[in-house]
Amino acid sequence: MKVISLISLCLFFLFSCNNKKENDGRTDDSRSATLYLQNRSPLKPMAYLELPLGNIKPEGWLKEQLRHMANGMTGNLDSIYPEVVGPRNGWLGGDGDGWERGPYWIDGLLPLAYILDDEALKKKMRPWVEWVLNNQTEEGYIGPVPFETEPEPERGLQRGNRKDWWPKMVMLKVLQQYYDATGDERVIDVLTKYFKYQLKELPISPLDHLTLWANRRGADNLQVVYWLYNITGDDFLLDLGEIIQDQTFPWTTIFTNEENYNDPTTPWHYTQLKRYPFDSTEINDLTVSKLGGIHTVNLAQGLKAPIIYYQKSHEQHYVEAVKKALKDIKKYHGQPQGMYGGDEPLHGTNPVQGVEFCSISEGMFSLESIIKITGDMEFADLLERIAYNALPPQASDDFTTRQYFQAANQIELSDRLETSFQTNSHKGTDFVFGTLSGYPCCTTNMHQSWPKFVQNLFYATPDGGAAALMYAPAKVSLLVADSVNLTITETTGFPFKENVDFEFSLDRVASFPFHLRIPSWSKNAEILVNGDPAEVSVENQVAVIERQWQNGDKVTLKMPMTITTSIWHEFSTAVERGPLVYALKVTHEERKKNRGDIYREFNEVYATSDWNYGLIQSELDNLPESAQIIENKWDGRYPWNLENAPLEIRLTGVKVPEWKEVNGAPVFPGFWDGYYWDGDYGEGIKKEEITLVPYGCTTLRITEFPTYNLK
């Protein structure tokens, strides 16, 4: 039996002592004070408790995914991109790049290193942490020290704004994770001193005194302040939290504003609103319903802002604000893979519109943060959709290249595409696969996505139990009940297969609850315990199995998947099954290109099969009978490409010769909406069998289809 690691036991005793001190007067279950870090009063107790970094281990294809990262850019960015994350970086004491990109990389490399328990990766990330821990100034400042004389600019380096609050926030996340993995007390000392420095400096130099980014992303700062408060109980941290909340962009106000029906091309200057306090007229006019008003990565990070503060306020208004925002985002900017059209600013629902990789990374982290606080499975459903649809195809299989933008409908990835807001800024490289194509923020920020998803597959519950809210092949070790060692081995072909199996290993018999999320897409889900149906009530999409558990017990969750459709841009149709969105299988070829500029070599991708197909409404009305599900031979290996796709859906579609690409983009034909044929389909109109595969397995794709009424 695998027992919990020594580090985890150390953290257990640390958290136990801290929480026992605080537990007097608490109203929540007393067992919440004996296991994992919980919010202290006056913060609202968290619904689920995060486990120490490294306690959750991926298995199967998910482990293979992380190994691709270790062997690809995540594990080798210092040699691939040395001019930025090499020894000259300011976060290593150098005179080079000193802003966000170094911390971004470590924010993904560090959790990957500890999840894989990879000593080579730990060796790469450790100097960054050590430099921060060993070079704090007397006043408490951390990070690259400003130059006495501003140096000459160097192309490709962000050397200025060294005292900007924003990049410090990324390093705060890094230090928190390092402490979770190691228990290194120096982190607590450094953060305490730094937050005292912030308490003194923020009234003089507010979050936005140098750039707007810290103001938009202040929740990242506040989140770590609350985390440290839960460990130390220092009251000054709550005072600092109020200052940070007050200086952060008012996301709650914006999310709850009434829909604005004015000019849908809100000028870009809204993202340049800088000074605090803000002009109330401008803030009251800004909503997510406007097409160009909000920077998409700021939005991805801002989604968690109301709920981070909700821990202090306890007001449900903050949760409802985020729910309203997500509905508005889907309505005005949504794409089927769970993301939103936004090539820097929000940019509408058109399926040729780009989705930035940083928005995926930060959106996932926001949702993961929200789930722990609220326990609301609406957010978990969205996280699942993004992780299993939007995330996999935006990096190459070997994790050596990535897209800056992806789109729901893309049939060519070349430097002639003109569908991006940033086309002129990035010389047409926004959609190609490269290392520095588009903008290099994603080259460094993409790495946190998969490791942090692994870290959120399982949680402890406040009453001494365990929870599985995301499903993937994995293994977890944790303490339950009265400090009983539990290992859960999760075996599954999810998200392609319907069943998830859990096997329990305990060092002694124990009674505790086991939580399972029942996704909103799953009807008539069934739970078996040791092969027998279990009568379990489901409340708010969570099934709780409360029983006395023994070593070797097994739980099976069966989630029937059915084919459904959803409506998107200009009444186009997407096909879904379970957690997966399906897209047209488009074969392709890649062509390397190097123009000798700052974007380096990149891969263009061109279709080698037809893509211009529509769906037939009568076929869709007859689902699932009109579709054929093909289960390909799959042994659980890495699935995210056309060759390994475990599933296919075959439907009858219609070839649309009038639908042609426009400068490489599949812009919808203007005539198709509701078009009706009465049996004579006309010249060139033919029914054909088409094959759909999971969105995450595609490189080129049509996901939103024009739909025709054919008789």
Residue 537's CATH number: 2.60.40.1180
pLDDT band at 280 (very low <50, low <70, confident <90, very high): low
| Same structural domain, 595 and 676 | yes
* Interval 399-416: pLDDT, tens: 999 999 999 999 999 999
Q: What is the pLDDT of residue 43?
A: 98
Boundary (domain end) residue, out of 527, 558, 589: 558
- Tell me whether residue 655 is exposed, middle or buried, using C-beta atoms within 10 angstroms of its C-beta: 0 to 12, 13 to 18, 19 or more: middle
The last residue of a domain, from among 558, 579, 602:
558
pLDDT score of 582 more than 50? yes
User: Could you tell me if residue 550 is inside a domain?
Assistant: yes
Domain presence at residue 163: no
Q: Is the pLDDT confidence value at 376 over 50? A: yes
- The predicted structure's pLDDT at residue 711: 62
How would residue 269 be classed by pLDDT, with cut points 50, 70 and 90? Answer: very low
* 3-14 confidence digits (pLDDT tens): 334 444 444 434
Which stretch of DSSP H or E encloses residue 694? strand 686-694
What percent of the chain shows pLDDT beyond 70? 89
**655 in a structural domain:** yes
Query: Looking at the 3D structure of the chain, how many domains does it have?
Result: 2
Residue 381 pLDDT class (50, 70, 90 cuts): very high
List of E strands, 168-222: none
In this structure, are 523 and 634 located in the same domain? no
Residues 549 and 665 in one domain: no
* Residue 440 contacts residue 404 (beta carbons within 8 Å): no
Q: Which pLDDT does position 151 carry in this prediction?
A: 85
Q: Predicted confidence band at 643 (pLDDT cuts at 50, 70, 90)?
A: very high
In a domain, 453, yes or no: no
Instruction: Tell me the backbone φ, ψ of residue 332, rounded to 5 degrees.
Output: -100, -20
Tell whether the model's pLDDT for residue 285 goes beyond 90: no
User: Is pLDDT at 570 greater than 70 in this prediction?
Assistant: yes
Amino acid 326: pLDDT:
97
Confidence of residue 150 (pLDDT cuts 50, 70, 90): confident
pLDDT band at 248 (very low <50, low <70, confident <90, very high): very high
Q: Are residues 470 and 489 in the same domain?
A: yes
Residues 205-242 have pLDDT tens digits of 999 999 999 999 999 999 999 999 999 999 999 999 99
pLDDT at 24 over 50: no
Is the residue at 387 inside a domain?
no
The residue that leads in pLDDT, 258 or 339, is 339
Domain boundary among 525, 558, 591: 558
Q: Give yes or no: residues 603 and 631 share one domain.
A: yes
Same domain, 549 and 587: no
Q: Are residues 590 and 681 in the same domain?
A: yes
**Phi, psi of 662, deg, nearest 5:** -120, 105
Answer yes or no: are the C-beta atoms of 602 and 434 closer than 8 Å.
yes
Per the domain annotation, does 117 fall within a domain?
no
Question: Are residues 578 and 550 part of one domain?
Answer: no
Q: Which two tokens stand for residue 441?
A: 């923020």
Question: Residue 641: which domain range?
Answer: 563-710
Instruction: State phi, psi for 700 to the nearest 5 degrees.
Output: -105, 150
pLDDT at 283: 76
pLDDT of residue 288: 84
Query: What are the tens digits of pLDDT across the range 302-340?
Result: 999 999 999 999 999 999 999 999 999 999 999 999 999
Structural domain includes residue 521? yes
pTM of the model: 0.93
Is residue 617 a part of any domain in this protein? yes
Q: Tell me what pLDDT residue 293 has.
A: 73
Residue 555 clears pLDDT 80, i.e. is over it: yes
Residue bearing the bigger pLDDT, 274 or 629: 629
Q: Which residues contact 265 (CB under 8 A, 6 or more apart)?
A: 291, 292
* pLDDT one-digit tens code per residue, 26-71: 333 333 345 799 999 999 999 999 999 999 999 999 999 999 999 9
Are residues 593 and 470 part of one domain?
no
58 forms bridges with which residues in the sheet? 474
Residues 529 and 576 in one domain: no
The 3-state DSSP composition of the chain as helix, strand, coil percent (nearest 5) reads 35, 20, 45
The mean pLDDT value of the chain amounts to 91
Higher pLDDT: 533 or 710? It is 533
572 and 704 share one domain: yes
* Residue 294 pLDDT exceeds 50: yes
Q: Same domain, yes or no, for 664 and 644?
A: yes
